Structure 1
Amino acid sequence: MCDLDRMLRDVTDAEVKEKLEQVHEMFTISEDSPADPIAKRPTEEQMQWSCRVAAAQEMLVREYDLDALTYYYHGAPGNEYEKLQGGFIVGHSLLTARGIPCAGEGDLKTAVAMKICDTLGTGGSYSEIVVVDYEDESILLGHDGPFHIAISEGKPILRGMGLYHGKQGTGVSVEAKVKTGAITTLNVTQTGDGQLKMISSEGESTDGPIMKIGNTQTPVKFRKHPDDYMEEWFREAPTHHCAMAIGHQARLFQKVAELLGMVHVTL
């Protein structure tokens, strides 16, 4: 956070303008959400701040030659670092689109999963189980960002959040879904003896509705009833996050695991 704060002070107005142009090219700017009273059209101030932070995030990646990153910040309410982390999501989505996957909540193992997916050209969007639709028998997978724009169904939407879901602060968040069709989730977890382990799950992204609340969400049908699938998944001791890739890629991910000397399980 100290490095990023230092770099933020060096960001020029021209660099902010360049980021704003990238954002308008890659995202749709939302109006107020009809479903969530705290999800509004992003203000000009929120957009400017997110783009200023995004420029600093790019400096951080260049200075330390990062291939991926993960982040977590929890501090005293209302301090300057809280404002700084409130601007993370847009910049981290831009970096993820450029092959520098960014994972939230300090989940380094999922950053590895995202990097594997991206390196293989299959995407790798940061996800977790959000809710189950028992009528449709689908599981809604998503997060508040970052999102891999290359595998989006249409242009992702930016919403201004009066309060982030499950974290401190306010700012701009990404609302999007992964392309309809075949998908694979890749989870990188850890075994009892400290080794890394990969879990692949193939399914289908449906064209079902998503909540307009400023989060990435994709309804997915796996090959089993959601309860049976989750029982099987939890039995493999996953982290609660995963990377979502397009296409059925379990055999490809198994080859990666063999090359890396890792255990791999396909559900």
Structure 2
Amino acid sequence: MKAFEKNEKPRIGLYSTGLEAYWSQFPTLHDRLKGYGTFIEDKISQWGEVYNFGIVDNPEAGKKAGDYFNENKVDLIFCHAATYCNSASILPIHQRCNAKVVILNLQPAVNVNYEKATIEEWLAHCGACPVPEYCNAFNRAGIDYKVVSGLLGLAANPEFSMSNEITKDSPEARRAWQEIENWVKAATVKRTLMASRIGFLGNTYNGMLDMYSDFAMIQAQTGVHVEVLEMDDLDAQLQSVTEDNKNKTLDEIQDMFEISEDSPSEKLAKKPTQSQLDWSATVASAQDKLINKFNLNGLTYYYHGSAGSHFEQVQSGFIVGNSLLTSKHVPCAGEGDLKTDISMKICDILGLGGSFCEIVVADYNDGTILLGHDGPFHLDIAEGKPKLRGLGVYHGKQGTGVSVEAKVKTGPITTLGLTQTIDGKLKLIISEGISTDGPIMKIGNTQTPVKFTVDPDTYFEKWFALAPTHHCAMSIGKNTDIFKKVGYMLDIETVEVK
């Protein structure tokens, strides 16, 4: 399927630290440390645009670096602690530029060559020495910071080195670089959200107080623009859908879904009729056109509609198209849940899926909790081919139509919820578990049995205590660490249920 968007590349600032007095005393040290910085720049360039100022070695250089990072609108700054530098030289950088800062404490070698080491060799390896000073200065200046420690990960020894600096395969280098990559990905989320436009189509499901969102608050705290849409906007696109549009979407549906037979358990869940599939394909084609017209990167939707009305018929075709859109990197959240749509968007930016779900029921024999919803579903993370079922009634909603029955692939999963607190602040809620191969109901809903790190009742009570919304996004993998980094980049409180 055609993907609607690519992520924004983050803009990453980088500088290395040094002391101006060293250069005349140790002639090769400056170029050696600069080489380490270039190595870091090249590695990070795989994931973002890097703006490498070079070596900061006095307060004036620090002021220039801060201005340089501001001019280039960086999202994140890596402070490479290459060797000792006094904190008065680097503090001006972060007093001028308020991008988040991560200190890189990356030692070039596993250990120095004790027998041959000179003072210059020592200085090339003592990057950890000034880090406490930097942390103290940042703390007293009210500047948030994080630190990544480990080995640099070089593949060859640099000129003038007396120690073995080939550390690319060491666990300390691999761990450090995974941390660095995750920080860049978290910066990707921030920059992409700042450029995102999420459509809000229709209204919020009446009475779901946890779903209601203040659009100004959403934009203020995430950078996401909310485009308010009417059903007439979608209907205008619907009128322009051609037979060719519909047939191409039908091909997508046949490729992505298994068309079910009648459910063995639910008499309302039948094999979809051709007319139901045709209508779902027609509405899905209109949804594609809507996304293109308004340049949307996500869609939050719900429309009640009066019984038997045209718009009730239109919304009855939403689920299939919104599942297709979600897998084209335009996450769609039902019931007017804008906050969970943003959670889904975060998961999708990171390439981790992001399916719309809620608690369904516990299985106390199996120790699992079933998570799912009546749509939409992220097809990229499905266990097998999702099924389409025709439903005689959308429970709790107007109309009838085709729904998606699917489960997330077996293995580690992480849920990500976004809620709002009493003071109007957003809060991310994370929990890790395992998607099992347990059974699901054959009722046309998405459902995934999940075994969390605690028993169902303990999980329920811990999760409920955090005042979540009743929806969340489900991603694949163990993603607590990167989700916490995203929360840090967005200045959103982040908590974990464990």
When normalised by structure 2's length, the TM-score is 0.53
User: Deviation of residue 154 (structure 1)?
Assistant: 0.3
Which runs of structure 1 show a deviation greater than 4 angstroms over 4 or more consecutive aligned residues? none
1:41 lines up with 2:271 in the alignment: yes
TM-fit CA distance, 1:107: 0.2
Distance 1:31 1:75 in 2: 29
**SS where residue 347 of structure 2 aligns?**
helix
In the alignment, which residue of structure 2 is the partner of 1:165?
395
Please, which of 365, 373, 396 is the counterpart of residue 143 of structure 1? Answer: 373
1:206 equivalent in alignment to 2:402: no
Are 1:8 and 2:223 counterparts? no
Are residue 261 (structure 1) and residue 480 (structure 2) matched? no
Q: Which residue of 2 aligns with 1:225?
A: 455
State the SS of the aligned residue for 2:427.
strand
Letter in 2 for 1:5: D
Q: Deviations over 1:111-163 (max 9, x none)?
A: 00000000000000000001111111110000011000000000100001111
Q: Once the 2 structures are TM-superposed, how far is the Cα of residue 52 of structure 1 from its aligned partner?
A: 0.3
CA distance in 2 between counterparts of 1:110 and 1:162 reads: 27
Q: 1:75, CA displacement in angstroms?
A: 2.4
Matched, 1:156 2:386: yes
Q: What amino acid is aligned across from residue 143 of structure 1 in structure 2?
A: H
Structure 2 CA distance, aligned partners of 1:60 and 1:7? 6
Please state if 1:63 is matched with 2:305: no
Q: By how many angstroms is 1:78 displaced? A: 1.1
TM-score by length of 1: 0.99
Distance 2:432 2:333 in 1: 21
State the distance in 2 between where 1:12 and 1:104 align.
26
Q: After alignment, is 108-117 or 133-142 more displaced?
A: 133-142
Give the residue type in structure 2 aligned to 1:192: I
The CA deviation string for residues 156-189 of structure 1, in whole angstroms up to 9 with x for no partner, is 0000111112211100000000000100000000
* Per-residue Cα deviation, 1:64-106 (whole angstroms, up to 9, x for no partner): 1111110111121111111000000010001000000000000
Percent of residue pairs identical: 62
Q: Give the match for residue 234 of structure 1.
A: 464
Q: Give unpaired runs (5+ residues) of structure 1.
A: none
Over residues 198-244 of structure 1, what are the superposed CA-to-partner deviations in whole Å (9 max), with x where a residue is unaligned?
A: 00000000100000000000000111111111111011110000000
The alpha-carbon deviation at position 192 of structure 1 amounts to 1.3
Name the SS of the counterpart of 1:71 in structure 2. Answer: strand
Partner Cα distance (2:387, 2:394) in 1: 16
- Partners of 2:236 and 2:351 lie apart in 1 by 34
Correspondence list, 1:65-214, <5 A: 65-214=295-444
Tell me how far 1:193 sits from its aligned partner: 1.2
Tell me, yes or no, if structure 1 residue 21 matches structure 2 residue 251: yes
Which has the larger Rg? Answer: 2
What CA distance in whole angstroms lies between the structure 1 residues aligned with 2:496 and 2:309? 44
- Which structure's relative contact order is higher, taking Cα pairs within 8 Å and 6+ residues apart? 1
Specify the SS of the correspondent of 2:356: strand
Distance in 2, Cα, partners of 1:243 & 1:136: 23
- The match for 1:32 is 262
1-structure distance, mates of 2:444, 2:343:
24
The Cα RMSD (Å) is 0.6
Moved more, 164-173 or 210-219: 164-173
Separation of aligned partners in 2, 1:225 and 1:43: 41
Give, in whole Å, the separation in 1 of the partners of 2:461 and 2:330.
Answer: 32
How far apart, CA to CA, are the structure 2 residues paired with 1:156 and 1:166? Answer: 23
Amino acid at match of 1:231: E
Write the distance in 1 (CA, Å) between the matches of 2:462 and 2:496: 10
